[in-house]
Every structure is written in structure tokens, then in C-alpha cells.
Structure 1
Amino acid sequence: MINWKVRFRNRNWVIAFISQLLIVAQLVLAALNSLHITDFQLTDAIQSNIIALANAVFVLLSMLGLVQDPTTKGYGDSDRALKYEDPN
């Protein structure tokens, strides 16, 4: 179980989450366009710029250690983190 209330109070986690949402949004738009569900199409120039920007933000956040929590094993929160009321 993930403690979302604490995560959304953590500014660094929110920044990483938003960068990942941008990547997912781009992939969804590309999929909808390839299935001819929508006519919205990103040009190659705009698409490569968006990918480059999102990748740069994501790599920077990963290098700073803000994307993964090195104190827990796997992707879940530790028992201690689940009891937080505020980010520790």
C-alpha cells in the first residue's frame, strides 16, 4: 500500500511524478493517433523536443536520487514510511 498523502506533500516526488506523466501522455497521444481515434498529431520536431525535455528532467531527477527511494526494497513503501503523517 502506498501512502499517497505523504508522497504528494513531498515536492521532489511530485516533480518526478509530473515528468513521468508527461511521458505517458505523449505515448497515449501517439497511440490514439496511430489507431486513428484522434486527428491530433505532434510533428516530428515538436515530438523530439518534448521527448528530449522530458528525458532530461527525468535523468536529472534520477541522478539526484529523487525518483527512487533507496531505503526500501522494491517499489513499495516500508512499514515505517506508511506511518508518516508528513514527509520525513
Structure 2
Amino acid sequence: MINWKVRFSNRLWVISFITQLFILVEVMLVGAHAVGLTDFQLTEEIKGWGFEVVNALFGVLATLGVVQDPTTVSLSDSEQAKRYKKPRSSL
């Protein structure tokens, strides 16, 4: 059985889930228009605007620290990261 409480407490999973919901809504709107259920049509301008809004939202959330670092258990920095004087080189 899926433990939804645990899934929704993981911010990375929630962000992925929300993104997938946007994709599902887009596909449903395109399909509804294709079979004649609605006159609404997703144009490239609407799609572009939607992606810009989502990207801006997640950019703000990341800046605020809401997007979790997957290498830590919580939203805080690890003890090792707190001791850095400058960003650690990836090389």
C-alpha cells in the first residue's frame, strides 16, 4: 500500500507530481479539443506562457529554499556543507 503521507512530505516528489499534473491537464485539453468536446485550443503562446509561469514559480521556491537538497534529510544544510568557506569543487 502506498504511504501518501510520506510521499507528500517529500518536497521533490510533490514538485514532480505537480509537474506531471500540468502535463496531464495539457494532454486532456488537447484530446478534448481533438474529439470536439471543447472549442478551447492550446496555442503555442498559451503553452509557452504556462511553462514560463511554472518555471518562475519553481525558481522562487528554489530561491526560498523550499526545493529540498536530496542529499540531506530535511531542508537544512548538512553539517559538512555548513563548514564550507566557499563552494566545493565538483572535480
TM-score (norm 1): 0.52
2:5 equivalent in structure 1: 5
- Determine the C-alpha separation between the residues in 2 that align with 1:32 and 1:22: 15
| Root-mean-square deviation (Å) | 2.7
Greater relative contact order (Cα 8 A, min sep 6): structure 1 or 2? 1
Question: Any idea what the Cα deviations from partners look like across 1:33-76, whole Å, max 9, x if unmatched?
Answer: 1011011111133235546887xx8xxxxxxxx7xxxxxxxxxx
Amino acid paired to 2:42? L
- Determine the C-alpha separation between the residues in 1 that align with 2:40 and 2:52: 20
- Determine the C-alpha separation between the residues in 2 that align with 1:31 and 1:4: 29
Count of aligned positions: 59
1:32-71 alignment, distance < 5 Å: 32-47=32-47, 50=50
- Unaligned 5+ residue runs, structure 1? 58-65, 67-88
Q: Contact 1:23 / 1:51 at 8 angstroms: preserved in 2?
A: no
2:21 equivalent in structure 1: 21
TM-score (norm 2): 0.50
Change (3 A) 1:34 1:52: farther
- Kindly, what percent of the aligned residue pairs are identical? 46
- Unaligned 5+ residue runs, structure 2? 59-69, 71-91
- Determine the C-alpha separation between the residues in 1 that align with 2:42 and 2:36: 14
1:9: how far off?
Answer: 1.2
Amino acid paired to 2:8? F
Tell which structure's C-alpha radius of gyration is larger.
Answer: 2
- Determine the C-alpha separation between the residues in 2 that align with 1:51 and 1:31: 19
